[in-house]
Amino acid sequence: MKKALLMACALIVLVACQKSKPFTYQITGEGWEVFDGNDIQFLLNDTTEERIRMVAKATITDGQFSVEGKIEAPQSMYLGIYDSEGIFKGWKQEMILEPQKITLAFDGTTKKAKVTGGHYNKILYADVEKMPEVKGAKNKLDDYAEAFTALSKDKQDEAAQKKYSELFQAYKSAKDNVYKQMFETSKDPMVRLMAMSKGYQYKNWKEDLKALEAEMGAVNELKIMRHNLFASEEAKKNRIVINVGDQVKDFTATNLNDNEFHLKEILVQNKYVLVEFWASWCAPCRAEIPHMKKAHKHYHDKGFEIVSFTLDNNLKAWQKASDEEKLPWVNVGDLKAYKSPVVKMYGVQGVPANYLVDSEGQIIAKHLRGDALDKKLEELLN
């Protein structure tokens, strides 16, 4: 007990002393054979336009990797697996980069690696998952996810997806409540700051961050959170919202063969066009594609078309996903991700997102998923 208290006190002193020299972190991995030959990237949020930067990278060999570097204070971090060409392999995880020795153990059968070592990783992740209310909600979600995955594609309908969303929200709410309690009761300012970023509603964020800064100094986690919250407020003021009844905004973009397409030209050639924003790395987007294919096959001859606009910024990733999905419709992009003028013009904040447009350019529905798309097309074209 005394040892744990001494460690916690030492870490509080560490985050308060920002003018001291950086401390060393070391992260090793074991059991990653399933990803041999791929790179694991360690990504931190920052205040650049990209909003993220890579702090370390290692190639996984014989199931192992090792990275080390310097950091002044703990900071939220994201891990991702990428192939040698930088294409995302579909695995990611959150953790905290902190100046300690940390081991990431992966058994290939779970979605997340087990994190061993790291004072704040234990408090903010491992201990939270062990809380009875969180563990109970997670077990229900996992059980249903297993049953959902076993369903045939045609039975993964809107009702099944809604049930999954409800269970996921219950799990998230349980964690949010734990983080809220941490923020209100912890004596460690770093714990309160991290809890604030994970489960806090940001009602009084300016005052709360000011108070935390007085305790711990302007650590990177705090500066980035403040920057992002200010940016979010400004974005809300200037956010473009497109509603049903509005006229769709025209755009020109190229496909993978560098052929140019004009949305207006596609509109006049069809009765209805679904403008779909997606990305190769977006699992919900790709999960929706089989359903969209069925709708496209059934209604294409009746005047229905789809125009997919990717938010990828990696040509090879876009090409690979398109080849895997065998998209039968117009598939365009500009490889500028969220910086794309088209994405900004439509006010897209996340994917998937879509707009159903008639031949005169009027938006008649938006964000149609699953059965909702079928019902709308049946109403319009049958």
Q: What CA dihedral angle connects 281, 285, 291 and 294, to 10 degrees?
A: -70
Burial (Cβ within 10 Å: 0-12, 13-18, ≥19) of residue 240? exposed
Q: What is the distance of C-alpha 94 from the center of its chain?
A: 10
Order of all β-strands in the sheet with 252-255: 260-262, 252-255, 330-333, 304-310, 272-278, 353-358, 363-366
Whether residue 6 has pLDDT greater than 70: no
Q: Are 237 and 230 in contact (CB under 8 A)?
A: no
* Phi, psi for 224 (deg, rounded to 5): -70, -40
**Could you report how far apart the first and last alpha carbons of the chain are, in Å?**
71
Whether residue 8 has pLDDT greater than 60: no
Q: Are 157 and 370 in contact (CB under 8 A)?
A: yes
Model confidence at 13, pLDDT cuts 50, 70, 90, reads very low
Q: Are 67 and 42 in contact (CB under 8 A)?
A: yes
Quote the pLDDT of residue 153.
66
Q: What percentage of the chain carries pLDDT values higher than 90?
A: 70
Q: Are 23 and 14 in contact (CB under 8 A)?
A: yes
Rg of the Cα atoms in the chain: 23
Whether residue 11 has pLDDT greater than 80: no
Domains and CATH numbers, the chain: 20-116 (2.60.40), 252-381 (3.40.30.10)
pLDDT per residue over 304-357, tens digit each? 999 999 999 989 999 999 999 999 999 999 999 988 999 999 989 889 999 999
Model confidence at 1, pLDDT cuts 50, 70, 90, reads very low
Q: Are 130 and 139 in contact (CB under 8 A)?
A: no
Per-residue pLDDT averaged across 355-377, rounded? 93
User: Residue type for 172, please?
Assistant: K
pLDDT per residue over 235-254, tens digit each? 778 778 889 999 999 999 99
Whether residue 260 has pLDDT greater than 60: yes
Whether residue 14 has pLDDT greater than 70: no
Quote the pLDDT of residue 334.
96
Quote the pLDDT of residue 36.
96
- Report which of residues 17 and 363 the model is more confident about: 363
Per-residue pLDDT averaged across 188-210, rounded? 89
pLDDT per residue over 82-129, tens digit each? 998 888 887 899 999 999 999 999 987 778 899 999 999 999 999 999
Quote the mean pLDDT of the chain: 90
